[in-house]
Every structure is written in C-alpha cells, then in structure tokens.
C-alpha cells in the first residue's frame, strides 16, 4: 500500500483471476477457457490485418465487429457496443447505468461473478445481494422490487444454473416501470439457456453482455460486446470515450468479426463441450459427487468425502487446476471447466481411482 494512493483505491478489494501457471504444465480446468482452437477464419483475418495498417489507429466505432454482431443477432449496428473483453463492457455499464443519487442499491446474487462488487466499489455504487435458493437457483422475485438496477449472469457463475427467458423478462418489465436497467451477463449462453438479446426491442432497459473468450475460443484476444436499446449503447459510448476511444485494436477487431460470423464452426465445437459436460457430470454423480445442473462450460461440484480446499490442493498437486472459492455456502464446492475428453478423462480417473475416497487415496 502506497502513501500516494487515494481513498478510493485504498478501499478497493480487486478481483483475483484464476491461476495462469508459467513454470509447470497443468491440465487447466480453472478459467473456463475453450479447449478447442479458434476458427481458421479468425487466424486468417488476423494475419490479413497484421500489415501496414497497424501504423494507423483502429476504427473507434468498431464498425466491422458491430456489423457482424448485428447480422448474427438480427439487430441494428446502433444497438451493438464493442469493447475490450466483456469485463471492460461490464465496467462501462456499471458506470453508465447504476449509482444515481435518487436510486436504491444495485441488486445482484450473493453467489455470482465476483467482479460485480469490485465494479460497484470502483464506481462508488451501493449494492445489496439477493440470496440464491438452497439449490443455487436465482430467485427472480427478489429482483422485482424497487432498487437502483439489476445485474446477474445467465447462466450464473460459478454455479452454472440458467434461467428461462420468461423469468428474465419479468424482471426486465418490472424494472422498466421503475426506470431502472437490467443487465444480463451472457458470457456462457452458448453452452445452454436462452439468450435475452432478441427481446431488446420489447424492453428498452434490457442490456445483454457477451464475450468471445469462452464460446469463440478467444480468451487471448480480449473482445466482447453488448446488445441493447440505442440509448443504452450511447450511454456506454459516453463512458468509453471518457477513458479511451480506441479500446479494440485492429487485430482484435478483425479476429472478433470473423469469429462472430463463423457460427457453424463454433456451434460444432461447443456441442462437443456440452456433450463432454453431460458425460462428466453423470460420471461424477455415479462416484457420489454432488453436481449442480449446468448450462455453462463448467460444472460446480462437491465431494462427499473431502472439503473443497483439500480436494483443490490434492488435484493441483497431481497436475490438475480447478477453481476454489473460499466463500460462505460454497467453500466445499469446486468449479471445474470442461476441457477436452482427454483432459476430463484424466480428471475423472483421479476422482474415481479409489471406490471409497473417489481417488483421494491416490492423490494424497
């Protein structure tokens, strides 16, 4: 801590990302990356963009990417915002739509993406968490109340549970009457659930936020976008242009646009991930694990015999990284990203070697 920090920075508790090991080879099941390579069309587009044009600033309006998203989602380009990963888009959304002086607290689930309270702290936004049910479902009635706005992921993270669109739209309708925004973070929507993006025409307060890190195998590229009413998009632009108008570089814009347009390739690899998720979930249940039903590219599991921290450490010692959250209600759960079939077979082998301890005799 530096004496030169201001009071706001001193009070922040920054987000802690999943481990990215540099000096040891692991089976990486901890950061929800797609285990399959990006579309060949993405690589081709990036190579084509890596020329003399790099001496020039990129298009601040991100037209190529926004037009690709508009074509794919059947909306207007004016209803699309592009950013440097969905985390940046989320940060801009917090700054644009929440924290008005006459508003109540922002609402989001008590178990959810742990960046939300960080953004709220950065922007000075009061918030209140709404408890998930005992089975980790989002209770939409908890968001049909006067507040300063609502945000939640669908599917939720780290639980993987999803909501039907009718439940989401009931919240959008209520908050629209209240004059508040509803943001649905759809980072994992390609792996299950129903996107609310097609309903933005009916609800001017509804914003969906998307990333290319997971479904499009582009975690290393950093590209995301939002879909919503033109007024919401203009609000995001006002925040962005108060920081940096050139948030996406030429290579990212080219690669991201190619990815959005190559839906057949990505539907193919993501169907494989869904099939692997279901196979692994069934196998773990047979071993006695509790597995929360997932619509994402990860599963949320609890061992019948070991605390979450112990199992996390044991798996890491044997070369498999998963994610552990030392938080109330979920400290005994692990979030396990879905890798290739070979990766997941190695994971299952460790979990199932010993019939009584589900592999922990071998691990420990």
* pLDDT, tens digit, 9 for 90 and up, residues 273-323: 999 999 999 999 999 999 999 999 999 999 998 999 999 999 999 999 999
Per-residue pLDDT of the chain (364 residues; tens, 9 = 90+): 899 998 888 888 887 888 788 777 899 999 999 999 999 999 999 999 999 999 999 999 999 999 999 999 999 999 999 999 999 999 999 999 999 888 899 999 999 999 999 999 999 999 999 999 999 999 999 999 999 999 999 999 999 999 999 999 999 999 999 999 999 999 999 999 899 999 999 999 999 999 999 999 999 999 999 999 999 999 999 999 999 999 899 999 999 999 999 999 999 999 999 999 999 999 999 999 999 999 999 999 999 989 999 999 999 999 999 999 999 999 999 999 999 999 999 999 999 864 434 544 444 4
Question: pTM here?
Answer: 0.94
Residues in contact with 201: Cβ distance below 8 Å, sequence separation at least 6, in sequence order: none
Residues in contact with 21: Cβ distance below 8 Å, sequence separation at least 6, in sequence order: 28, 321
Integer-rounded Cα Rg, in Å, for the chain is: 21
| Whole-angstrom distance, CA of residue 155 vs CA of residue 158 | 9
The burial class, CB within 10 Å (0-12 / 13-18 / 19+), for 326 is exposed
Fold classification of 7-37+264-363 is 3.90.1150
The burial class, CB within 10 Å (0-12 / 13-18 / 19+), for 273 is buried
Sequence spans of domains, the chain: 7-37+264-363, 40-263
SS3 for 327?
coil
| Whole-angstrom distance, CA of residue 76 vs CA of residue 20 | 37
SS3 for 208?
strand
Question: What digits encode the pLDDT tens for the residues 86-98?
Answer: 999 999 999 999 9
Residue 188 CB neighbour total at 10 angstroms: 25
Report the greatest alpha carbon distance in the chain. Answer: 62
| Whole-angstrom distance, CA of residue 51 vs CA of residue 49 | 6
The dihedral through the CA atoms of 251, 257, 260, 261 has a sign that is negative
- Are 220 and 210 in contact by the 8 Å Cβ rule? The answer is no
β-sheet bridge partners, residue 208: 184, 227
Let me know the angle formed at the C-alpha of 322 by 297 and 315, rounded to the nearest 5 degrees: 135
CATH of domain 40-263: 3.40.640.10
Q: What does each C-alpha distance from 273 to 30, 131, 218, 277, 294 come to in angstroms?
A: 15, 29, 16, 6, 12
């Amino acid at each position: 801590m530096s004496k030169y920090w201001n009071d706001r920075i001193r009070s922040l508790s920054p987000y802690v990302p999943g481990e990215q090991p540099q000096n040891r080879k692991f089976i990486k099941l901890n950061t929800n990356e797609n285990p399959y390579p990006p579309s060949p069309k993405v690589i081709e587009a990036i190579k084509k963009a890596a020329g003399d044009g790099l001496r020039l600033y990129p298009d601040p309006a991100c037209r190529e990417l926004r037009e690709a998203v508009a074509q794919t989602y059947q909306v207007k380009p004016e209803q699309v915002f592009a950013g440097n990963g969905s985390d940046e888009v989320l940060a801009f959304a917090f700054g644009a739509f929440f924290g008005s002086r006459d508003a109540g607290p922002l609402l989001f689930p008590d178990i959810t993406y742990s960046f939300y309270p960080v953004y709220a702290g950065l922007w000075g936004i009061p918030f209140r968490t709404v408890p998930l049910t005992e089975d980790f479902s989002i209770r939409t009635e908890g968001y049909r109340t006067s507040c300063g706005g609502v945000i939640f992921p669908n599917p939720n993270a780290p639980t993987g549970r999803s909501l039907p669109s009718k439940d989401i739209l009931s919240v959008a309708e209520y908050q629209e009457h209240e004059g508040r925004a509803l943001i649905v973070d759809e980072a994992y929507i390609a792996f299950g659930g129903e996107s609310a993006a097609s309903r933005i025409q009916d609800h001017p307060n509804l914003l969906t936020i998307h990333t290319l890190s997971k479904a499009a195998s582009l975690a290393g590229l950093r590209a995301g976008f939002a879909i919503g009413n033109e007024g919401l998009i203009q609000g995001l632009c006002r925040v962005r242009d108060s920081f940096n108008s050139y948030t996406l570089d030429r290579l990212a814009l080219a690669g991201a646009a190619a990815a959005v347009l190559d839906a057949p390739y990505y539907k193919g690899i993501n169907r494989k991930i869904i099939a692997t998720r279901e196979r692994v979930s069934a196998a773990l249940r047979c071993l006695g694990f509790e597995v929360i039903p997932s619509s994402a590219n990860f599963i949320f599991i609890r061992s019948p015999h070991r605390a979450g921290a112990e199992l996390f450490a044991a798996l890491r010692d044997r070369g498999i990284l998963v994610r552990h959250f030392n938080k109330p209600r979920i400290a005994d759960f692990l979030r396990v990203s879905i890798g290739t079939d070979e990766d997941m077979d190695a994971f299952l082998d460790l979990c199932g070697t010993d019939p009584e301890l589900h592999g922990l005799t071998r691990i420990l």
